[in-house]
Amino acid sequence: MGDPKFPRKKYSRPSHPWEAERIKSENELLSKYGLKNKKELWRAQSFLSSVRGRARELQALVRYESRQAIKERDELIARLGRLGLMPLEGASLDDVLALDVEAVLSRRLQTIAYVKGLAFNPRQARQFIVHGHMAVKGRTVRVPGYLVTRSDEETIAYDTRSPISHDLHPARPGVQQVTVPPEGGDDPTGGPEPPPEGAERGPT
């Protein structure tokens, strides 16, 4: 189990660190989903790898009509269905093997908060989450990589204790900032209004 003071890493690094195509695709995913670093991407890849590896093992055992394997297969598919990675009905182990890393990244709290329109972009959604402005089921969540279940997806909102929960907060998407002109006319510099055309000017 290990010492709780020294938790194990939840990701594994690529075996070949200098691959141009892989680095390019990783950078595109980092930009698309607003990830902080590649460790977050590797963590999603490791989660997907463990799920697909277990699916391959169960696929081999189900062929021998193992009751335990059939039970674990149904539990695995139901778990992924609750996470929104699979359909709730009609899914199979082949569908589990067909999953890609973007399916996992799209279930992150950071991504869903942006898709629901709670932030201008994924990076702002991350900032809101880390600073404690987002809540799931009424509880503050500060982990951008939190995997949201289907039942919790509709409960994502601004934390009621956050100032951003106010409808007119300027940081919220859709709120138009109104510039109030200074006193003394429409001239933003506050100077005198220009004379109308055709008016006689006084002596200089």
What ranges do the domains of the chain cover? 7-106, 108-175
pLDDT of residue 204: 46
Strand 134-136 relative to strand 156-158: parallel, antiparallel, unpaired? antiparallel
Closest listed residue to residue 114, CA positions, set 173, 165, 44: 173
pLDDT digits (tens, 9 = 90+) for 131-163: 999 999 999 999 999 999 999 999 999 999 999
pLDDT digits (tens, 9 = 90+) for 57-84: 999 999 988 899 999 999 999 999 999 9
Q: How confident is the model at residue 17 (pLDDT cuts 50, 70, 90)?
A: confident
pTM of the predicted model, to two decimals? 0.79
Residue 14 pLDDT > 90: no
Q: What average pLDDT does the structure give for the chain?
A: 86
In this prediction, residues 44-53 reach a mean pLDDT of 95
Residue 104 pLDDT > 50: yes
Is 3.10.290.10 the CATH classification of the domain at 108-175?
yes
Q: What is the 3-state secondary structure (H, E, C) of the chain?
A: CCCCCCCCCCCCCCCCCCCHHHHHHHHHHHHHHCCCCHHHHHHHHHHHHHHHHHHHHHHHHHCCCCHHHHHHHHHHHHHHHHCCCCCCCCCCHHHHHCCCHHHHHCCEHHHHHHHCCCCCCHHHHHHHHHCCCEEECCEECCCCCCECCHHHHCCEEECCCCHHHCCCCCCCCCCCCCCCCCCCCCCCCCCCCCCCCCCCCCCC
Q: How confident is the model at residue 178 (pLDDT cuts 50, 70, 90)?
A: low
